[in-house]
Chains A and B, each alone.
Chain A
Amino acid sequence: MGRFLLQRLTYMLVALLLIITFTFILMHVVPGGPFASEKQLPESVMKNLNEKFHLNDPLWLQYVKYLQQLLKGDLGVSFKYEGRTVNDFIKNGFPVSATLGAVSVMIALIFGISLGIISALNQNKWQDYIATIFATIGFSVPSFIMASLLMYFFAYKIKLFPTAMWGTPAHVVLPAIALATLPTAFISRIVRSNMIEVLQQDYIKTARAKGMSERVVIYKHALKNAILPVVTYLGPLIAGVFTGSFVVEKIFAIPGIGRDFVISIVNRDYGLILGLTVFYAAFLMLMNLLVDLSYALIDPRIKLTRKEG
């Protein structure tokens, strides 16, 4: 277990270094720079700006300097927003995105698993067909359309929830639903197909032959086996949803990190791009690690050991 963790953490560092390197190269390969879009700046100002952010240094030196700075836990500064560090952006934006994300993941899990079970237990009956229709809609309607529709009906027409902005629990509802639509559909499908398969297993027959009630058979014996693939999907889902969906955050005017991320790219804000990428990548890898660890809790056959060879 200890060795497994150590090995995984080493892999994560290597992967992170590769991601930083590629992002760094790609960022500089793309024409333009952080100050290119502004109205023509005087030569001397440009020179000073480049000087200040070390943009005149050779690329390899900038790269090394960035890594050194990272080691100290400093993700860098924004080139566009005077005096704001990437750490500031994360400190302000991440809790917002994380709250929204957590609610979305909860919604997706609760509704996805319930729909999946209902479908599986009523295979090819009307309940299954209705769940399938919901899932198809969830799959095919993009989150921005879902967001607009929700906003139109629940905020504008019946005024149940605020249209946009952030602050109270009511503000979380609509964007969280919009963000949860796709994962809900996805999870319901995974649970359905796995549940159908698991319910045909011999050990389910054994459970019934033991005189277990249908409730125990489904929730104790079948669900635990059917849920493993959902856990696999949960890693990237949590990372993606926690760090925010730009579109949904933009539509609901939510000051989350997803919005910052996309704006940084539009602005060629070298510091912010790199910083947020590193943060996002590290978060994703951490979530995947947690998922792998939770496997062992759900399925005792999975042993966390170092791979041989």
Chain B
Amino acid sequence: MANILEVKDLRVNFKTFAGDVQAVRGVTFSVKKGEVVAIVGESGCGKSVTAHTIMKLIPTPPGKIVSGQILFNGEDLVPKTQEQMAKIRGKEIGMVFQDPMTSLNPTLTIGTQIGEVLRVHQGLKGEAARDRMIELLKMVGINQPEKRLKQYPHEFSGGMRQRVLIAIALACNPQLLIADEPTTALDVTIQAQILELLKELQNKLHMSVIIITHDLGVVAGFSERVVVMYAGKVVEEGTTEEIFYNAKHPYTWGLLKSVPRLDQDRSTPLIPITGRPPDLINPPKGCAFWPRCEHAMKICAMYEPPETEVTPGHRVSCWLNAEEVKKLKTKAVD
């Protein structure tokens, strides 16, 4: 199937007083039509910056797209101006953010905030707009939509606000939805509801979804493919199955081990990935993960690992998987 989005060797820097932070360092991945892709990684790995860059929502300055392409339906978004992007945002690509409590304007009614999207992108006004808004609120599971439209964000709970934000993002039937940690700020029970809602809507509307999260539990039941990011790079990418059952990168192993499991004895402590992510002003030579990696070899600190394809579509960047290293290892065993 055709790729709706292709991100190619994307590099994004942020200027700070200490120097340029290389937040995204050559990210490549793609999203097919109707596909759900999860981007996972810990805080500061560049997953949010990647998502914001696709929408060109990073503040410039200090942010800057250094190089790379973002092909949306084959058209590069990187050279587009903010005015050109405004026509794509909310219409072709919808976005849902992390914190529903602060993501709605406190001084405008819900109706105003949904209505303006319909007016700007679809020219809907009056009755037509109202009918569509009621339909949207029903779609995201908000009761009494007629009454709710006249209310302000402070009259909604966190989960309800996230539903409103999803309604806003989906108002114009976008081809792609970017959900940037949509459940992180919510209670666990509400998290499940919102995730259920997203799944249901994705099925119904056949849109592509990029879901950004640090919670592999979120990934398991929703996404078809997973992109694992570390220190501004994609370290492993594959189908959800492959990532869960046949992961090849020590960082992915670490992420999987740090997820609590129901089938585990409750006294078994969770295993964290020790250490901290590297400083992205001066990223380490070689593999960015080696200082925290149990399996690190000398070569890891010296050269960047090449990308190898484990099975078709399952890519990993780790020296453990490089052909040369594998050969050496088998020799050593012999």
Q: Does B207 contact A (CB under 8 A)?
A: no
Query: A210–B102 contact, CB under 8 A?
Result: no
Q: Does A203 contact B (CB under 8 A)?
A: yes
Within 8 A of B (CB), among A180-217: 201-203, 205-214, 216
Query: A210–B154 contact, CB under 8 A?
Result: no
With A205-B57, A206-B168 as known contacts, state yes or no: A300 contacts B152, CB within 8 Å.
Answer: yes
Identity of the chain A residue whose Cβ is nearest the Cβ of B114 in the assembled complex: A210
Q: Which residues of B are found within 8 Å of A213, using beta-carbon distances?
A: 83, 86, 120
Identity of the chain A residue whose Cβ is nearest the Cβ of B86 in the assembled complex: A211
Query: B89–A203 contact, CB under 8 A?
Result: no
Q: Does A170 contact B (CB under 8 A)?
A: no
Partner of A301, one of B55, B87, B106: B106
Query: A210–B168 contact, CB under 8 A?
Result: yes
Q: Which residues of B are found within 8 Å of A203, using beta-carbon distances?
A: 102-106
Query: B152–A301 contact, CB under 8 A?
Result: yes
What is the bound-complex CA distance between A202 and B97, given in angstroms? Answer: 8
Q: Which residues of B are found within 8 Å of A202, using beta-carbon distances?
A: 97, 99, 102-103
Number of interface residues, chain A, beta carbon within 8 A: 22
Identity of the chain B residue whose Cβ is nearest the Cβ of A222 in the assembled complex: B105
Return B157 CB to nearest CB of chain A, in Å. 15
With A214-B82, A301-B152, A301-B154 as known contacts, state yes or no: A207 contacts B120, CB within 8 Å.
Answer: no
With A211-B89, A214-B82, A301-B154 as known contacts, state yes or no: A205 contacts B116, CB within 8 Å.
Answer: no
Q: Does B108 contact A (CB under 8 A)?
A: yes
Query: A300–B154 contact, CB under 8 A?
Result: yes
Return B199 CB to nearest CB of chain A, in Å. 21
Partner of A221, one of B88, B108, B121, B165: B108
Partner of A211, one of B88, B99, B104, B107: B88
Identity of the chain A residue whose Cβ is nearest the Cβ of B55 in the assembled complex: A209
Identity of the chain A residue whose Cβ is nearest the Cβ of B85 in the assembled complex: A211
Query: A209–B99 contact, CB under 8 A?
Result: no
Query: B106–A205 contact, CB under 8 A?
Result: no
Q: Which residues of A are found within 8 Å of B107, using beta-carbon distances?
A: 224-225, 298-300
Q: Which residues of B are found within 8 Å of A298, using beta-carbon distances?
A: 107
Return B185 CB to nearest CB of chain A, in Å. 10
Identity of the chain A residue whose Cβ is nearest the Cβ of B107 in the assembled complex: A224
Partner of A201, one of B102, B108, B152: B102
What is the bound-complex CA distance between A207 and B113, given in angstroms? Answer: 8
Return B155 CB to nearest CB of chain A, in Å. 9
Within 8 A of A (CB), among B103-162: 103-109, 116-117, 120-121, 152, 154
**Cross-chain pairs A/B with CB under 8 angstroms, 26 sampled:** A203-B104, A203-B105, A205-B57, A208-B57, A208-B86, A209-B57, A209-B95, A209-B97, A210-B90, A210-B116, A210-B117, A211-B85, A211-B88, A211-B90, A211-B91, A211-B121, A212-B90, A213-B86, A216-B116, A220-B108, A224-B107, A225-B105, A298-B107, A299-B107, A300-B107, A301-B152
The 7 tightest CB contacts between A and B, nearest first, are A211-B90, A211-B89, A210-B90, A202-B102, A209-B95, A300-B152, A203-B105
